[in-house]
């Protein structure tokens, strides 16, 4: 009506003039429409005008609550939040969202996305994150990947500055660095910068898995045709086994050839295959067959040659994988130092360069220069931020400066923000405290740094946790060991696995105290469900002919790993101790079925240690074992003979397979033939052509794509 239109205009002017109370009274007089016997919510324009004007957020909240209670608009508060976020009035957003939460309204991730959308400064992004953390809505993977990380990046971001961004972000959102880095990699791939992506993956050992990560890698390649960059990303990635690396390489190739444009298949595929060959990457036979079938008559001799090399078991990764955090080379560090000196001389702004140089000194463990520069920066009024304090904590731990490390740690803990310190740095600090005998401080630090996630079972974390246990063991503090272990596990800082628990048993083994070692081993089984130094105990008791204790180790192992896995380990222990008859007796047990993954692992171990006689004995005594993969065993034996250059024994493998009536695999025959021909020996069999059978593992591509790959872990590992 005309009255409502005039009233609306007056209310808008009143709100702008700060006469909100008068405007609200007029709003209450405005006639309201009806829908299905209910009044239509009113006053949206009033709420919006308060938000767009200088009206304080507390006033807005009070009017929204009054509108709700009076029935004028039951959705007033949620509407206010929507308007404040849509119009990017973030200075009022937190108070309104907090009020909405207090009213019982559930918080959702997407409410906070406007905080990070568009061109945002670093401080604005962290204000948004702080808002989420205070309102107990920690950012999930989608929020970090699609909004937060892109908002923190710009076109000038380099690898060195990336680490500062990652570490600070990790601290603010209280998640480990290794969970942040995949989101940063996703952003780099979106920019199609494959060279930097490869360097980044190598520095942080990121696992390339899942559809969005692989899709980003493939899309980057299709936009740039940077085949070397793709190959380096794959070769640099973190994988659990060679099979996983082979499968990842195959998945990427198949993703590339399955894109829409069939006419471009050869153009897309050939450069990738060549770079994969150059780096020594491998693919499975099944992947090779699918590529052949997809190309059909378009297969070229060059591609066929590449595929043969990629499926060869002789391929060796021709790439030195980089670990750790990016560190400047000497030239870059010298240039940065020169810039700092020049700016100091001419009085130019210098703090940004000084921060970078300080962090570089921390990385290089250059305590003297770091403290000298820090002192100079403090004299200039510089306030040490949390991300720099964390680096200083690590520096002091590495330099055995316990008092300074404790001072920095206390400063981090008393900061206004609930900052998350990476678990590796916390474990290093705990190690320092343990080495100086500060047991009560150790307990305090562990409790103050509880991690919500399952601890990462990584190399560094395991070694640091093991060092802590080992130090207590060496100090003879057996009571404290259990207390610390339980606390570390309970608070998510370590896993009580066989590696971490190793010192508990080994401390007795090095003194030949088998009774003490057995007691410690049994305790680990009962309390932590782990079997540290199990194989060494088996060796010791076999050599000592202590049947009673040998049986006890076996029984304890069966409780955790099962009967078959434990018997396999006993077989290997007998073999390695030269007790062939006892090993064969176990294998000849009726109903015994081989675990091929354990046999394969043992063969690899013997091959690497050049224990050819043990490998030969295993092949010989397992002839009649049910379910054993004879081709696999003989393939390992062939590798041993080819490494020695023994053509006579290599050829005997073919004879043995015939005697056992086992069909030799094409791969084994091709490898044997190549070895014989290389040594000018005749080949007494027909050399098979390129393998054609698709392994079961790869048949899944017929019915559906595998987005997430997994490795067959050995449940019986020590």
* pLDDT tens string 51-84: 999 899 999 999 999 999 888 998 899 999 999 9
Helix, strand, coil distribution of the chain in percent, nearest 5: 70, 0, 30
CA dist 637 and 643 (Å) reads: 10
Whether pLDDT at 716 is above 50: no
Backbone angles phi, psi at 709, to 5 degrees: -100, 155
Q: Considering only residues 340 and 701, tell me which one the structure prediction assigns the higher pLDDT.
A: 340
Helix (H) or strand (E) holding 38: strand 38-39
pLDDT value at residue 718: 41
pLDDT value at residue 6: 84
pLDDT value at residue 194: 93
Weakest mean pLDDT among 104-108, 132-136, 155-159, 566-570 = 155-159
> How many other C-beta atoms can be found within 10 angstroms of the C-beta atom of residue 414?
7
CA angle (304, 305, 306) in 5-degree steps: 90
Query: Is the model's pTM score more than 0.85?
Result: no
List the one residue out of 482, 450, 457 whose CA is nearest residue 469.
482
Task: Tell me 144's DSSP state.
Answer: I
List the one residue out of 121, 120, 139, 140 whose CA is nearest residue 129.
139
Task: Give, in order, the Cα–Cα distances in Å from 715 to each of 340, 506, 521, 531, 593.
Answer: 54, 22, 18, 11, 16
- Return the domain boundaries, the chain: 192-323
End-to-end CA distance of the chain: 81
**What tens digit of pLDDT does each residue of 603-638 get?**
999 998 899 999 999 999 999 888 899 999 999 999
Structure-token pair, residue 689: 């052509």
pLDDT value at residue 453: 59
What is the band of 179 on the pLDDT scale with cuts at 50, 70, 90? Answer: confident
- For the chain, give the mean pLDDT: 84
Taking residues 33-47, report their average pLDDT. Answer: 82
What is the band of 436 on the pLDDT scale with cuts at 50, 70, 90? Answer: very high
Residues 6+ apart with CB under 8 A from 530: 496, 497, 498, 501, 524, 560
CA dist 656 and 672 (Å) reads: 13
Q: Name the pairing type of β-strands 38-39 and 34-35.
A: antiparallel
Taking residues 183-205, report their average pLDDT. Answer: 90
Residue 347, Ramachandran bin (φ over 0: left; ψ between -120 and 50: alpha; else beta): left
What is the band of 708 on the pLDDT scale with cuts at 50, 70, 90? Answer: very low
Residues 6+ apart with CB under 8 A from 569: 534, 535, 538, 557, 561, 598, 716
* Three-class DSSP category at 593: strand
Residue with tokens 């206010």: 80
pLDDT value at residue 313: 66
Structure-token pair, residue 483: 């207390």
Among residues of the chain, what percentage have pLDDT more than 90?
38
């Amino acid at each position: 009506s005309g009255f409502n239109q005039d009233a609306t205009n007056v209310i808008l002017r009143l709100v702008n003039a700060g006469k909100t109370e008068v405007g609200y009274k007029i709003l209450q007089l405005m006639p309201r429409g009806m829908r299905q016997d209910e009044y239509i919510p009113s006053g949206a324009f009033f709420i919006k005008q308060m938000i767009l004007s200088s009206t304080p957020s507390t006033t807005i909240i009070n009017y929204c609550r009054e509108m709700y209670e009076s029935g004028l608009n039951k959705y007033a508060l949620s509407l206010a939040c929507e308007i404040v976020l849509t119009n990017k009035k973030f200075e009022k957003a937190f108070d309104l969202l907090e009020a909405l939460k207090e009213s019982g309204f559930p918080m959702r991730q997407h409410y906070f996305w406007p905080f990070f959308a568009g061109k945002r400064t670093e401080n604005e992004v962290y204000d948004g994150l702080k808002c989420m953390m205070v309102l107990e809505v920690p950012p999930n993977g989608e929020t970090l990947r699609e909004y937060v990380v892109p908002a923190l990046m710009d076109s000038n971001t380099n690898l060195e500055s990336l680490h500062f961004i990652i570490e600070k972000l990790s601290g603010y959102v209280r998640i480990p660095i290794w969970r942040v880095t995949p989101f940063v990699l996703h952003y780099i791939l979106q920019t199609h910068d494959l060279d930097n992506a490869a360097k980044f993956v190598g520095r942080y050992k990121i696992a390339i898995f899942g559809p969005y990560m692989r899709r980003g890698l493939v899309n980057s390649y299709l936009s740039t045709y940077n085949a070397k960059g793709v190959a380096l990303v794959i070769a640099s990635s973190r994988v659990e086994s060679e099979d996983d690396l082979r499968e990842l390489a195959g998945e990427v190739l198949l993703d590339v050839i399955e894109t829409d444009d069939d006419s471009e298949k050869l153009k897309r595929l050939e450069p990738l295959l060549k770079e994969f060959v150059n780096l020594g990457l491998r693919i499975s036979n099944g992947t090779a067959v699918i590529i052949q079938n997809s190309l059909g008559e378009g297969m070229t001799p060059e591609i066929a040659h590449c595929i043969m090399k990629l499926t060869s078991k002789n391929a060796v990764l021709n790439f030195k994988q980089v670990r750790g955090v990016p560190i400047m080379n000497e030239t870059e560090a010298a240039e940065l130092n020169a810039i700092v000196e020049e700016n100091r001389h001419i009085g130019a702004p210098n703090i940004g360069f000084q921060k970078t140089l300080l962090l570089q000194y921390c990385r290089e463990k250059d305590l003297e220069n770091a403290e000298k520069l820090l002192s100079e920066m403090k004299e200039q009024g510089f306030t040490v931020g949390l991300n720099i304090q964390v680096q200083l904590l690590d520096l002091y731990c590495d330099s055995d400066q316990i008092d300074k490390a404790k001072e920095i740690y206390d400063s981090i803990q008393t900061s206004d923000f609930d900052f998350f310190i990476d678990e590796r740095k916390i474990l290093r600090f705990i190690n320092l405290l343990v080495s100086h005998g500060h047991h009560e401080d150790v307990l305090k630090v562990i409790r103050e740094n509880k991690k919500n996630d399952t601890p990462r079972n990584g190399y560094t974390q395991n070694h640091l946790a093991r060092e802590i246990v080992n130090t207590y063991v060496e100090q003879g503090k057996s009571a404290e060991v259990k207390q610390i272990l339980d606390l570390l596990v309970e608070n998510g800082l370590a896993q009580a696995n066989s590696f971490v628990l190793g010192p508990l048993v080994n401390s007795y083994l090095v003194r030949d105290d088998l009774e003490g070692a057995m007691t410690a081993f049994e305790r680990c089984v009962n309390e932590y469900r782990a079997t540290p130094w199990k194989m060494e105990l088996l060796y010791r008791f076999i050599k000592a002919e202590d049947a009673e204790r040998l049986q006890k180790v076996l029984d304890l192992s069966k409780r955790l790993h099962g009967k078959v896995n434990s018997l396999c380990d006993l077989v290997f222990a007998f073999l390695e101790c030269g007790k062939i008859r006892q090993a064969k007796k176990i294998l000849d047990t009726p109903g015994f079925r081989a675990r091929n993954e354990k046999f394969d692992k043992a063969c690899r171990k013997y091959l690497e240690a050049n224990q050819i006689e043990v490998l030969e004995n295993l092949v010989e005594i397992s002839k009649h074992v049910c379910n054993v993969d004879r081709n696999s065993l003989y393939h390992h034996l062939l590798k041993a003979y080819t490494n020695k250059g023994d053509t006579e024994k290599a050829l005997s493998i073919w004879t043995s397979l015939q005697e056992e009536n086992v069909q030799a695999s094409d791969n084994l025959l091709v490898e044997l033939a190549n070895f014989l021909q290389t040594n000018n020996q005749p080949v007494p069999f027909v050399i098979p052509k390129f393998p054609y059978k698709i392994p079961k593992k790869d048949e899944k591509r017929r019915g559906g794509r595998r987005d997430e790959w997994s490795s067959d872990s050995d449940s019986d590992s020590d």
